Copies of this chain bind each other. A is one copy, B any other.
Amino acid sequence: MIVMEKTPTSPVSRERSREIKRLSVISAAREARVLSRADLAELTGLPPATLTALVRDLVAEGYLIERGPGSGTNTTGRPRAMLEFNPRAELVAAVSLEPPRITCEIADSNGAVIAHRTARLAGDMVETVCQFVLELVDDARPSLRGVAIAVPGVSVDGAVRLAPSVGLVEARPIGQSVQHELGVPVIVDNDVNLMAAGERVAGAGKDVDDLLLLHVADGIGAGLVLDGKVRRGASGAAGEVGFLPLDGFTDRAYSGVGPFEAMWSANAIAERVVALHPGRRPESPVSELVRLAESSVAARAYLDEVLGAWARLIISCACVVDPGRVLLSGAAAQLDDAALARMQDLVSAKAPAATEVRRAVLGDQAVLHGAISYALSAAVRLPSIP
């Protein structure tokens, strides 16, 4: 009747107290960037005596850098000795798997990329990822805090499952293998989830705890951040909004492609744009459609259809999770200001709660920032208390 998993250690052990204090200080410093010991005392609640020793250790380890007296607001009293958080003390590897390509970037916890490499995927995936990370990290390996691997399609428990448009086949859990090889936490997730996480920590969602990122590309997917946490779903399929049954009774669904995305993805839009304006298939189909709509009644009508469809998707999501803010990414971010305003109006008319629609702002950097937030969360996670 009492089932034991991992035997817990004492929640008030000395080791744990030490970790909690370190985490408090590191988190406060990472967020403030530059601050004094007095600031740390206020932010963490730790007494000055405790902080003296702790800061000494963190300076020795390279997390904090003494920066000399600061321009404090006090007119009297001993000037504060300012400390600067060293983002280079925490490196993160962000790996993107987009068969046939693999991209690897090493960044510090500020998001500054210090090394990167792109190559064709060949041979064993786990070996390739480990090799790239180790080569790029070079002699900064002790500062590597974690690895985040972005994949198209749904990941479940670290196993990569079929992504419809790229033919990635299910492999043994690569996250666990890489973690075993590199000895740091490794997180594998859908690239749209990583984008959502990235916009949350460093982009258009920095000031909210809840958002939905709508990504329109070959498929249509959404990343959800709810209460500050990415929502993956019971089977890892949260955000599969391409499968929403919004257009009544269409039976165009085929394996791996949802009915909604079959009609409203960037691919589908590109086909219509070519039909409306014969010529080469546009690289940016939504930009092209917006351009055509300026002078073509048919294009304008089609743009209205697209906006209506995407609005219904957003309203559906608003009804279910009430994210408060929706970020448009990929082809959806190509809408101009007028179209974006139209979209906002359509959503506001029917959504049951205030739902703000904006463009995502990080673009290609979103996955990287998402990877950083994932890796740092995994690196310093304390076991939870019931």
Contact indicator A21/B11 (Cβ below 8 Å):
yes
Residues of B within 8 A of A166 (CB): none
Judged by a CB distance under 8 angstroms, whether A222 is at the interface is yes
CA distance A12 to B320 in the complex (A): 39
Q: A241-B319, A243-B315, A350-B245 are in contact. Are A45 and B11 (CB under 8 A)?
A: yes
Most chain B CB within a 10 A radius of its CB, from A7, A46, A320: A320
Judged by a CB distance under 8 angstroms, whether A90 is at the interface is no
Judged by a CB distance under 8 angstroms, whether A125 is at the interface is no
Contact indicator B35/A2 (Cβ below 8 Å):
yes
A residues sitting closer than 8 Å to B (CB atoms) are 1-2, 4, 7-13, 17, 20-21, 23-24, 27-28, 32, 35, 39, 42-47, 50, 208-210, 222, 224, 226-227, 229, 231-248, 253, 258, 312, 315-325, 350-354, 382, 385-386
CA distance A202 to B328 in the complex (A): 39
Q: Which of B21, B232, B238, B350 touches A320 (beta carbons < 8 Å)?
A: B238
Contact indicator B17/A244 (Cβ below 8 Å):
no
Contact indicator A234/B322 (Cβ below 8 Å):
yes
CA distance A232 to B323 in the complex (A): 10
Task: Pull 15 A–B residue pairs with CB atoms less than 8 Å apart, ordered by A.
Answer: A1-B32, A9-B45, A10-B46, A11-B44, A12-B20, A210-B233, A232-B322, A234-B324, A240-B319, A243-B352, A244-B320, A246-B246, A248-B248, A258-B352, A316-B316
Residues of B within 8 A of A32 (CB): 1-2
A231–chain B nearest beta-carbon distance, Å: 6
Q: Which of B44, B237, B351 touches A8 (beta carbons < 8 Å)?
A: B44
Contact indicator B386/A240 (Cβ below 8 Å):
no
A11-B44, A226-B231 known; 10 new pairs, CB 8 Å cut-off, are A2-B42, A10-B45, A11-B21, A12-B20, A12-B21, A234-B324, A237-B319, A238-B320, A238-B321, A246-B316
Q: Identify the closest chain B residue to A320 (Cβ).
A: B320
Residues of B within 8 A of A248 (CB): 247-248
Residues of B within 8 A of A8 (CB): 43-45
Contact indicator A4/B231 (Cβ below 8 Å):
no
Q: Identify the closest chain B residue to A6 (Cβ).
A: B45
Q: Identify the closest chain B residue to A18 (Cβ).
A: B12
Residues of B within 8 A of A23 (CB): 385-386
CA distance A147 to B299 in the complex (A): 57
CA distance A339 to B224 in the complex (A): 33
CA distance A354 to B226 in the complex (A): 22
Q: A234-B210, A234-B353 are in contact. Are A43 and B4 (CB under 8 A)?
A: yes
A8–chain B nearest beta-carbon distance, Å: 4
A109–chain B nearest beta-carbon distance, Å: 14
Contact indicator B324/A235 (Cβ below 8 Å):
yes
Q: Which of B231, B247, B382 touches A321 (beta carbons < 8 Å)?
A: B231
Residues of B within 8 A of A1 (CB): 32
Residues of B within 8 A of A9 (CB): 45
A382–chain B nearest beta-carbon distance, Å: 7
Q: A8-B44, A246-B246, A385-B20 are in contact. Are A320 and B322 (CB under 8 A)?
A: no
Q: Which of B4, B229, B232, B322 touches A42 (beta carbons < 8 Å)?
A: B4
The 6 A-B pairs at the shortest CB distance, nearest first, are namely: A233-B322, A234-B324, A237-B353, A8-B45, A235-B353, A240-B352
Q: Identify the closest chain B residue to A233 (Cβ).
A: B322
Contact indicator B324/A245 (Cβ below 8 Å):
no
CA distance A40 to B322 in the complex (A): 41
